[in-house]
Homo-oligomer: A and B are copies of this chain.
Amino acid sequence: MTTFTVSHRHKSREALFTCTDKVGTGATTHLAGAAISKRSTIIDVAGLAGVSIKTVSRALNDAPHVNADTRRRVKEAAAALDYHPNIAAQSLIARRSYLLGLTYERPSPSYVVELQNGALARLENSRYRLVVLPFRDVANRPEELGSLLLRAGLDGVILAPPACDQHELLSMLDRQKLPYARITPHHEMDRGIVTAMDEVEAGRAIATHLLELGHRRIGIVMGDPSHAASAARMEGYRLAFADFDAEPIDDLVVSGDFTYDVGYSAAAELLSNSPRPTAILAQNDDMAVAAMAAVRDAGLSVPGDVSVAGFDNSEVSRTTWPQLTTVRQPVNEMAWDAVDRLIATLDANDSQREAPPLRGDHPYELIVRASTAPPL
């Protein structure tokens, strides 16, 4: 794993971070900035259209009881003035910011992006916007995240693991009545909107796959213990072993944290056992890919000498070679669903409509690819 790093710069260019000051050219136009130049307000539109501001409001919001001709005149005036309603003023009166927060903690990029894309997909063509609020080490400072969320002026928040399972955080949000949707496998603790996949059964499915292939000396790389999924998946593995009248070998269960680097060390440690494991089951794809690298760096092949299986069906599981056997976690759909139900809740509050069901379950999917094979 040696890496050579060479830093180059073309001589004819400025030094690092050199800043060429171009102020004074036409390029500066935008600097006038929104803060200085007064954007036109509803009053300007009213003046130009020759009506009252209330009529402008009605006309622009397509409210009833407005003369068709008046409405047209108002809309023309608004267009002529490049009028855009002031969102802050609207939020102030509506007691709504139309802002949803998404909180997550440094998991793999593909997880974050899927999460985000799922949430954004639901938000498309809605008034809501998405504010991203990553937060490190929630387990040790839940109240800090709480006050961050409370001060962010959100209408609601999506909590991904592991923040979703922090009692203290949830209590803060409850106390301040900030609605939230949790993406969590923790079936026991029923608080707020919950969207989940059955992690236990998913874990059981992937372990069963290895057992069916004939593996018994299976090395297991655990995920971050602060994520409920880690224990749930392990529980699933145990159920699978039990189905085969066997159980995980203690020496072959090592801790990890869902990252590639730690996954690599963990896998290397597993491979140092003798006899060595015939398969490695990692609790996510990043660590599984690291395990594949460790196997090869040990002069062995995948799946010839050692089978490797992951979890998540993240992008890397498809782009690695050989492609990885894994379990698909429908992160995208779960995020979509969480947002959907959160918005339904907010709307229900407004219009006295019925609140949506609090729980949604999503199916996992075992995906068998080329990284697993029967043991020699």
**A residues within 8 Å of B by Cβ?**
1-10, 13-14, 16-23, 25, 27-37, 39, 82, 84-89, 91-92, 95-97, 99, 109-110, 112-114, 116-117, 120, 129-134, 147, 150-153, 155-156, 173-180, 190-192, 198, 201, 204-205, 260, 286, 289-290, 292-293, 296, 315-316, 318-321, 323, 337, 345-346, 348-350, 355-370
Contact = CB atoms under 8 A, between A and B. Distances in A.
A17 B10 CA distance: 57
Nearest to A290: B319
Given A16-B362, A84-B151, A192 B8 contact: no
B368 A6 contact: yes
A179 B33 contact: yes
A148 to B, nearest CB: 10
Contacts of A116: 132
17 contacts: A10-B201, A13-B201, A16-B362, A19-B356, A19-B359, A21-B357, A23-B357, A30-B191, A31-B349, A33-B346, A35-B96, A35-B155, A36-B349, A84-B150, A109-B113, A109-B315, A316-B319
Contacts of A34: 95, 155-156, 176-179, 349
Nearest to A131: B129
A357 B19 contact: yes
A365 B8 contact: yes
A293 B130 CA distance: 36
Contacts of A3: 323, 367-369
Chain copies in complex: 2
Contact of A365 (B7, B117, B134, B204): B7
Given A31-B345, A134-B120, A260-B319, A361 B36 contact: no
Given A35-B96, A113-B113, A366-B7, A22 B89 contact: no
Nearest to A175: B82
A77 to B, nearest CB: 17
Contact of A30 (B130, B173, B360): B173
A165 to B, nearest CB: 15
Nearest to A113: B109
Residue among A132, A316, A369 with the highest chain B CB neighbour number at 10 A: A132
A65 to B, nearest CB: 25
Nearest to A289: B319
Contacts of A286: 319
Contact of A8 (B27, B120, B205): B205
A260 B201 CA distance: 31
Contacts of A348: 31
A96 B32 CA distance: 14
A168 to B, nearest CB: 15
Residue among A10, A177, A357 with the highest chain B CB neighbour number at 10 A: A177
A190 B27 contact: yes
B296 A179 contact: no
Given A34-B178, A176-B84, A361 B109 contact: no
Contacts of A296: 321
B316 A361 contact: no
A265 to B, nearest CB: 14
A311 to B, nearest CB: 14
Contacts of A19: 356-361
Given A82-B176, A177-B30, A346 B8 contact: no
A180 B177 CA distance: 35
A274 to B, nearest CB: 24
A241 B103 CA distance: 47
Contact of A35 (B346, B361, B363): B346
